[in-house]
Amino acid sequence: MKAVRCPSCGAEMKRNGKTSAGAQRWRCGACGASTTVSYDDTAARLDEFLAWLLSKATQADMPGQGRTFRRLAAAFWPIWPMPEPTGEVHRVLFVDGIWLARDLVVLIAYDGEHVVSWYMAESETSRAWEALMAPIPAPDVAVCDGGTGFERARRRAWPRTRVQRCLFHAFSQVRRYTTSRPRLQAGRELYALSIELMHLETLRQADWWVERYLQWCSFWADFLEDVSVVDGRRQYTHERLRKARSSLSRLVSRGTLFTYLDPALAAEGPLPRTNNPIEGGVNAQLREVLRNHRGLSLMRRVKAVFWWCYMHTESPRPAREILRSMSTDDDIDLLYRVCSASPKREDGGPEWGDRAVWEELHRKDPYPFWLD
């Protein structure tokens, strides 16, 4: 144990019984001063809180049948663990969003080993995606599942980044419309083509697939134009097949299906064709955390996701530094009051209070403005 020094003369102190409350009393042999020593164990409590949050343990498993733990953990729920951009350039980034409520999603960027950044938004709009992408240097390839708003944000934030659409999601979208047992011949052929998507290994095979797909579109074009009258309204007879065709046609025209086969990009090594790393390595783990601690309020679920993401970054800070540097609910309230009182922006930029996204908390500058 570290020696206790006298606050008056600096001499080493010795134990001198205990107080009526049971605390250790210390006495200085040089000047006779007597005192007690208190230790700041907040960092240790934070480590204990995070160990519980990221495990399967229940509150009842904690000391005091959870009551003491809940009282001590209450001090850590107000903390917002925010991403800290490192400036590292990644060859491939996987991006996806995990929905926590009907109008709340957390967008996540993942490099295959560590979480790079995350962002809370009301929906997957281009503004939200751009806010996630802006602090991160543009990667060579971004793998996504085709979420809304991503492409527009990529053109603004990462204009030189190539996009690889997750082939499994492309196949799943076709299967959603055709089912896995199509009854029409056109559906059977399109479903078979979508299955082949995940087994193409060369550009020659990819070109042959595109050619056969265009032949399918040409052969069944008149069939897909058939119209029926339902309840006095004209509508396409094979509407679901048309949607399946549209989903593939958009990807073919944008050239995002076979980015992983581009020789220039693949020269440094093979590229992924699906976003399975983020689905299994991040989303599945987050859902397990939320399932293990079901019953949390919405904001605590958000913070649980934030904590998991932060602790799986490449270099999370020690607990003592987290307590010293991370924003809290009080900081957010202060920022809201200051920024909401400012004049409205005329350029259409984001304003405080219009959604559950706080751009100022995802700032590029690691130092809050109130510390300037």
Check residues 116 and 26 and name the one with the higher pLDDT: 116
CA–CA separation, 314 and 113 (whole Å): 8
Question: Does the pLDDT at position 172 exceed 70?
Answer: yes
Q: What is the mean pLDDT of residues 174-192?
A: 95
Question: Does the pLDDT at position 65 exceed 80?
Answer: no
DSSP E strands in 241-313: the ranges are none
Query: What is the band of 367 on the pLDDT scale with cuts at 50, 70, 90?
Result: very low
Q: What is the mean pLDDT of residues 181-196?
A: 95
Q: What is the mean pLDDT of residues 107-126?
A: 94
- The pLDDT of residue 18 is 87
Query: What is the band of 305 on the pLDDT scale with cuts at 50, 70, 90?
Result: very high
- Domain residue spans of the chain: 1-39, 42-76, 78-166+274-372, 172-270
Q: Is residue 16 within 8 Å of residue 24, measured between CB atoms?
A: no
Question: Does the pLDDT at position 51 exceed 80?
Answer: yes
Query: What is the band of 150 on the pLDDT scale with cuts at 50, 70, 90?
Result: very high
| pTM (2 d.p.) | 0.81
- The pLDDT of residue 4 is 82
Q: Is residue 151 within 8 Å of residue 95, measured between CB atoms?
A: no
Question: Does the pLDDT at position 303 exceed 90?
Answer: yes
Other CB atoms within a 10 A radius of the CB of residue 108 amount to: 24
CA–CA separation, 120 and 132 (whole Å): 9
Q: Is residue 120 within 8 Å of residue 131, measured between CB atoms?
A: no
- The pLDDT of residue 146 is 80
Query: What is the band of 342 on the pLDDT scale with cuts at 50, 70, 90?
Result: low
Query: What is the band of 181 on the pLDDT scale with cuts at 50, 70, 90?
Result: very high
- The pLDDT of residue 304 is 95
Q: Convert 109-143 to b/e letters by CB count within 10 Å (16 or more is b).
A: bbbeeebbbbbbbebbbbbbbbbbbbbbeebbbbb
Across the chain, what does the average pLDDT equal?
87
Question: Does the pLDDT at position 358 exceed 60?
Answer: no
- The pLDDT of residue 1 is 55
DSSP structure class, residue 109: E
CA–CA separation, 262 and 39 (whole Å): 59
